[in-house]
Structure 1
Amino acid sequence: MTGSIIINNLAGLLVITSVLTIVVRGVPQSIGILSLQSLVLVMIFFAIGYNFGAHELYTWGITAFVTKVILVPLIMYKSFCKMREANIEGSLIPVWAIIMISAIIVLVCYFVVEPVKLPMITELKPVLAVSLGHFMIGLLCIVSQRNIIKQIFGYCLMENGAHLTLALLAYRVPEIVEVGITTDAIFAVIVMSYFARRIYKVLNTLDANKLNVLKG
């Protein structure tokens, strides 16, 4: 029971770091918070693996630490921190609304997962609710932010939420699948970072609202 409480509390930290990633203005700060969130995710993997005998999650945790905690933030930092417009707020809705919507999302997800009856999920329904809500908060980040870099952060939030959901529902998949799931974020961030840099180089802007005209 104590282990479940710790895991559920760690899941609560995921929500807090998600909201902070969206509302914090500076890109270096957002990258740092995202890296911290990934570290919390790794801690959840190890805690679930230890408390429920899901030793497959140890591989998930090690791979996620290398990719999500170290490599992805490093790639984003080197790609974005020197861009002149990287720290522009560019939010379509105020901070208080983002916080309120995020809380409502997690609450609704909790009621959605209430009927789920699985051995591990019985004690970790708050974690499952957070994992689904985390995905939706990432989507909220994408649709509410004008800054392209912030939208990439939104993708990373969605990916972390989906990763946690898979860890809860399909943790016994073969290890090669686990490694593939945890490394896909690197390739996605590399591709998105490349296009963001190209857009900035050609159009000198990171405002998605200014990219509504195609030029041949």
Structure 2
Amino acid sequence: MVGFQLINGLAGLLIITSLLVILSDRPGNSARFYALQSLVLVALFLALAEATDSHELYLWSASAFVTKVVLVPLIMYRAFSKLSDPKLGSGAVLSPALSVVLAALVVILCYSVVSGVSLPAAAAIKPALAVSLAHFFLGLACIVTQRNILKQVFGYCLMENGSHLTLALLAAKAPELVEVGIATDAIFAVVIMAVLGTKIFLTLHTLDARQLTTLKG
């Protein structure tokens, strides 16, 4: 029982790190906070592996550490840390206070949805499952409410972490090949978006997504 309490507690930290990623004023800092969040996710995988006696999740933890804690943040930091748009600022449409309120409402709504789930595997981890679902929607909200195209990339990464956690919670015995597929997809997606973001900045000299509404032939 203590193991599941730890899992639910670590899941709560994911929401805090998500807000740090979204509200950070510089993409380089967002990359650092994303690495911190991924480290919490790895710790959650380890706690879940211990609680469910899942050897597969130990392998997931090792793979997630290499890809999510090291490779993906390093790629984003090296690609984004030198890009800045002083006129745009952080690019946030919502104030920090409203963002925190929105995150709380999303978590509450997701918990009300998850509370009706009657799966035996989810009985002790409903708070963590609610957080994983909320995490996906927070990533989507980041994409929608951020004008900074680099911060929108982080929104995708938050969505991916939420989906990854949901899979781990509901399918702890899934083979390592599933984790490898998820990690590979995330790395290639981030590389492609980092290249596109850099090209857009070098061409338009701005990171404002509103400047991408006109197509030129």
**Structure 1 and Structure 2 fold alike (TM over 0.5):** yes
* Partner residue, 2:44: 44
Q: What's the TM-score once normalised by structure 1's chain length?
A: 0.96
1:2-22 Cα offsets, whole Å, 9 max, x none, are 111111110000000001111
How many angstroms apart in 2 are the aligned matches of 1:178 and 1:145?
Answer: 29
Aligned-pair RMSD on alpha carbons?
1.3
The residue identity in structure 2 corresponding to 1:96 is A
Q: 2:106 and 2:137 mapped to 1: Cα distance?
A: 7
Match of 1:21, SS state, is helix
Question: Hey, what does 1:207 align to over in structure 2?
Answer: 208
Partner in structure 1 of residue 54 of structure 2: 54
1:103 is aligned to: 104
Using the TM superposition, give the Cα deviation of residue 36 of structure 1 relative to its aligned residue in structure 2, in angstroms.
0.3
The answer (yes or no) to whether the contact 1:60–1:182 under 8 Å persists in 2 is no
Q: TM-score, normalised by structure 2?
A: 0.96
Contact 2:85–2:206 under 8 Å retained in 1 = yes
In the alignment, the residues of structure 2 paired with residue 85 and residue 61 of structure 1 have an alpha-carbon distance, to the nearest angstrom, of: 36
Residue in 2 that maps onto 1:192: 193
Superposed, 1:27-176 pairs within 5 Å as 27-85=27-85, 88-176=89-177
Q: Secondary structure at the match of 2:121?
A: coil
Shift of 1:214: 1.0
* Structure 1: 5+ residue stretches without partners: none
Indicate whether 1:15 and 2:15 are aligned.
yes
**Cα distance in 2 for residues equivalent to 1:156 and 1:24:** 15
**Alignment partners' CA distance in 1, 2:129 and 2:21:** 21
Equivalenced residue count is 216
Runs of 4+ that moved beyond 6 A: none
The percent of aligned pairs where both chains have the same amino acid is 54
Structure 2: runs of 5 or more not aligned = none
